[in-house]
Structure 1
Amino acid sequence: MPYHQLAIAQFGEPSVLTLQAASTPSLAADQVLVKVAYAGVNPIDAKTRAGLGWAAQQNKDNLPWVPGYDIAGKIVEVGDNVKSLEVGERVAGFIGFPLQGGGYSEYVVVDAESLSKVPAQIELVQAAALPLAGQTAWQALEKAKVSASDRVLILAGAGGVGHIAVQLAIAKGAEVFASCSAANVEFVSGLGATAIDYHRGRLEQQIDPVDVLIDLMGGEVGCAALACVKTGGQVLTIPTNTAERVCQQAQQLGLQAEGMLVAPNVAQNDAMLKMLAQGKLQLHIAAQFPLAEGARAHQQIESGRTRGKIVLAMGVQ
């Protein structure tokens, strides 16, 4: 059965994303075939497409390569050993990370154990936007040992990871501050955080010292935000390309600092899907693009002004 995928034909600008035809691969005994309804678009996808980062280096001889680590859809076939999932069930997951990818596709073969069942109350578009960003937020807060009464500063609080991290930190009982643009102050405040407009001056001049910094920006912005953390405080930085620099500067300031690479975790995904179903977590979808217009999705995510998440739509199911 022929279907379409959006692939990185060569490294470069968003225009290198190319629609290609594929035929359905055979299933291993522990796998399922998913008809994808939506695929999440993440900054790592654009970074890899540009030829940056480990996934790009490892796949430079495997082009064309299909990016995408977030999917949601319906199961259309199950392998012989799969007992936990059935044809017709709605599923979502964090797949193929970091080297396989494959989410920008109308159909994808996935290990059954890597998928979550999507609660009836949750639309598939929401389920597709959650896995990578949600698990990054969850694991960052865990690694930084955020707990009740902690003062936490989250950089880029309106972004895909940021707006989830804000809510999860508040659910832990933390007092949360989040940097954002003036246009996103109302949005971030609505999530329960104290919004800090970075255009109004240095962050440390706008808030008292915090216990924990969750750095989703890295580079100059991440380093500058270290001034907001009290001596002995905790710094968790996400962007891998500047993690060493941020950590070194943090340690010179007497802070505890480390980087992090997210790892797929189905139990965490299940927990957040349950929170979504119960209304305890909001997931904002900034935009949807058809699969064939993935270049526009990449242009938007590279603008750095995305509120929440972007998804690719394969067609309504």
Structure 2
Amino acid sequence: MNECKQLAIPQFGEPSVLAMQTVEIPQPSANQVLVKVAYAGVNPIDAKTRAGLGWAAQQNQDKLPWVPGYDISGEVVARGTEVTSVSPGDLVSGFVGFPLQGGGYSEFILVDAGALSRVEPDNVSLIEAAALPLAGQTAWQALDKAKVSDGDQVLILAGAGGVGHIAIQLAVARGASVLASCSADNVDFVSKLGAIALDYRLAPLAEQTGKVDVLIDLMGGDTGIAALDCVREGGRVVTVPTITAEAVCERARELGLEAEGMLVTPSVEQNDAMMAMLEVGTLQLYIAAQYGLSDGAEAHRQIESGHTRGKVVLAVDI
């Protein structure tokens, strides 16, 4: 059998446009490995691209059908002639094909060997290993860009989400005092991660807290702009949603704040560091739901609800 099932975007639109397709299993080139995918992470960027929004959609609009997915975990089943870092049978995970190639919603995927982390299944499950890369590295790099360090007071918007719940834990590990916005249903969840939970429905965030040193904006738009009132003069702002980054940064600078948008860059070193944290229990991942590959539309609806606690994954190898 030489066939590979994939969940693809044949045209931009609602989650229902996602469709299964079959292609030949590809063969690795010299520096690549072929991974039999066990799990694929589902991220907001997947849904935005499917809807035709953002840079990945613009660049791939003439290349449809396109297979989304940037997080994978699974087993190496073949390797190129120059690969020595991993062998068939090894379990791996990675942040792959970003931002234009994608490909994670697939039974098999070709990956550059250097883009992969080893997974020790006794310490980190494959489902965690697939949920971690994009969200974890986004959180890590946002904190780096904001220069979060010991003693900083940090406000994280959407603290219960995929990136947010990791960002809280990483910021706490750096010695920061963390506040995080969330819904009433997630107050206990966010509090257990080490943050002061702020129910955004109770009152404007600026009325619930004093001035903070850093804002990590995972919401963007009007919500991100309103949260700027929580930041002290000269404070730092990093806004992650790219579609509204310019507007948020412009308003932040008008208020005398340092502000930057960001686009995550894949880093095996950061992924390995967070995998080590998972192994010893200093980082925890919450998996909200898992769906089969053919149920990817439901996974996208879950992500687009705006009320997902933690991460959503596709169970590919079931």
1:269 CA drift (Å): 0.2
1:37 CA drift (Å): 0.2
Task: Specify the alignment match of 2:87 in structure 1.
Answer: 86
Over the aligned positions, Cα root-mean-square deviation in angstroms equals: 0.5
Instruction: State the distance in 1 between where 2:200 and 2:139 align.
Output: 21
Report SS of the residue matched to 1:157: coil
Instruction: State the distance in 2 between where 1:304 and 1:112 align.
Output: 34
Matched, 1:19 2:20: yes
Task: Specify the alignment match of 1:312 in structure 2.
Answer: 314
Unaligned runs of 5+ in 1: none
Q: 2:160 aligns with which of 151, 158, 161?
A: 158
Instruction: State the distance in 1 between where 2:270 and 2:157 align.
Output: 22
Q: Deviations over 1:232-266 (max 9, x none)?
A: 00000000010000000000001000000000000
For the Cα contact (< 8 Å) 1:243–1:259, is it kept in 2?
yes
The letter for the 2-side match of 1:261 is: L
Task: Specify the alignment match of 2:72 in structure 1.
Answer: 71
1:315 CA drift (Å): 2.4
Report SS of the residue matched to 1:125: helix
Task: Specify the alignment match of 1:2 in structure 2.
Answer: 3
1:119 CA drift (Å): 2.4
Instruction: State the distance in 2 between where 1:148 and 1:38 align.
Output: 35
Task: Specify the alignment match of 1:122 in structure 2.
Answer: 124
For the Cα contact (< 8 Å) 1:39–1:128, is it kept in 2?
yes
Task: Specify the alignment match of 2:195 in structure 1.
Answer: 193
Task: Specify the alignment match of 1:246 in structure 2.
Answer: 248
1:26 CA drift (Å): 1.9
The letter for the 1-side match of 2:308 is: T
Q: TM-score, normalised by structure 1?
A: 0.99
The letter for the 2-side match of 1:5 is: Q
Instruction: State the distance in 2 between where 1:279 and 1:305 align.
Output: 26
Instruction: State the distance in 1 between where 2:241 and 2:4 align.
Output: 34
The letter for the 1-side match of 2:131 is: A
Structure 1 window deviating more from structure 2 (18-27 vs 208-217): it is: 18-27
Q: 1:205 aligns with which of 204, 207, 216?
A: 207
Q: Within 5 Å, which residues of 2 pair with 1:1-317?
A: 1-120=2-121, 121-315=123-317
Moved over 2 A (4+): none
Instruction: State the distance in 2 between where 1:122 and 1:236 align.
Output: 30
1:27 CA drift (Å): 1.1
Report SS of the residue matched to 1:200: coil
Instruction: State the distance in 2 between where 1:207 and 1:224 align.
Output: 13
Instruction: State the distance in 1 between where 2:213 and 2:40 align.
Output: 35
Instruction: State the distance in 1 between where 2:53 and 2:208 align.
Output: 34
Instruction: State the distance in 2 between where 1:63 and 1:169 align.
Output: 39
1:76 CA drift (Å): 0.4
The letter for the 1-side match of 2:135 is: A
Report SS of the residue matched to 1:113: helix
Unaligned runs of 5+ in 2: none
Report SS of the residue matched to 1:29: coil
Instruction: State the distance in 1 between where 2:281 and 2:192 align.
Output: 14
Percent identity between the two aligned chains: 67
For the Cα contact (< 8 Å) 1:119–1:274, is it kept in 2?
no
Q: TM-score, normalised by structure 2?
A: 0.99
Instruction: State the distance in 2 between where 1:127 and 1:91 align.
Output: 8
The letter for the 1-side match of 2:67 is: V
Instruction: State the distance in 1 between where 2:144 and 2:317 align.
Output: 36
1:25 CA drift (Å): 1.2
